[in-house]
Amino acid sequence: MAAVSGCKARAVDDGAGYPGDEPAYARTADVPERVEPDGVTVLVGDPRARVTVHLFEDPRCPYCRQFETSGGGPVLAKRVLTHEVKVEYTLASFLDGRLGGGGSKRAVNALRAALDAGKFAEYHTVLYLDQPAEEVDGFTDARLLELASEVDGLRTPSFDAAVRTMKYRHFVDASEASFAAAGHYGGHEGPGTPTAEVNGHRIPPEQSAILYQGDVFDQFLTSVIDDAA
């Protein structure tokens, strides 16, 4: 596990091969998660899964909330449990600059702190379910800590301090820089949010509707998984 941090105990190792008939993770809390060697990409899922979905998201983005709560997100979470897919996250905070405030940065910092506790995926779900309106800078320290109380075992003195002091400010800035370097969309730095890349192939904006239709996204993932078998 050299050169990575924020890991929980892993149900499988990184050895060659594929899980095959590996039992499904019982719950999201059991899924491995870590920061990748680049220092900014968050990996959730069995590292040996044949299919990788890379998501670019901003915590304040309402379209990300739509994806995560009623679109492809719940489908993706189920595929992670069965070892078929792993998910990579690049966490952006560009909406703070457009809308004012610092809620995206504070939320990304809190997510990074949750990763240290092995609870990134659980907290990520909670933040999108309880996302404030885009124009409201609602991810305050107090609100982030209140929402963290919904994740069993996340609220600790170290987590609370990390949220209040912006302990992972460098991660926040580096993650935003990685997002900005990933391409341009609509005349702005960054590919837009949410954007998904599946096994290295980016879903173009004109086809992004599949992200918001759970059944369609499920069919799409099935075809990719079958092709990768």
pLDDT at 180 over 70: yes
Residue 8 pLDDT grade (very low, low, confident, very high; cuts 50, 70, 90):
very low
pLDDT at 224 over 50: yes
Please tell me the distance from the alpha carbon of residue 54 to that of residue 18, in angstroms, as a whole number. Answer: 19
Intra-chain end-to-end CA distance of the chain, in Å: 27
The per-residue pLDDT for 15 is 40
The per-residue pLDDT for 5 is 33
Residue 22 pLDDT grade (very low, low, confident, very high; cuts 50, 70, 90):
confident
| Averaged confidence pLDDT in the chain | 90
pLDDT at 188 over 80: no
The per-residue pLDDT for 94 is 95
| C-alpha torsion 79→82→86→87, nearest 10 | 40
pLDDT at 11 over 70: no
pLDDT at 189 over 80: no
- Strand 51-57 and strand 85-91: pairing? parallel
pLDDT at 1 over 50: no
Alpha-carbon separation of residue 12 from 2, 9, 219 (angstroms): 16, 9, 27
pLDDT at 10 over 50: no
pLDDT at 4 over 60: no
Residue 184 pLDDT grade (very low, low, confident, very high; cuts 50, 70, 90):
low
Q: Taking the CB of residue 177, how many other CB atoms lie within 10 A of it?
A: 14
The per-residue pLDDT for 229 is 82
Backbone angles phi, psi at 190, to 5 degrees: 95, 155
Question: Taking the model in full, what pTM does it have?
Answer: 0.90
State pLDDT tens for residues 128-167: 999 999 889 999 999 999 999 999 999 999 999 999 999 9
Fold of domain 28-228 = Glutaredoxin (3.40.30)
Using CA of residue 22, residue 25, residue 53, residue 106, what is the dihedral sign? negative
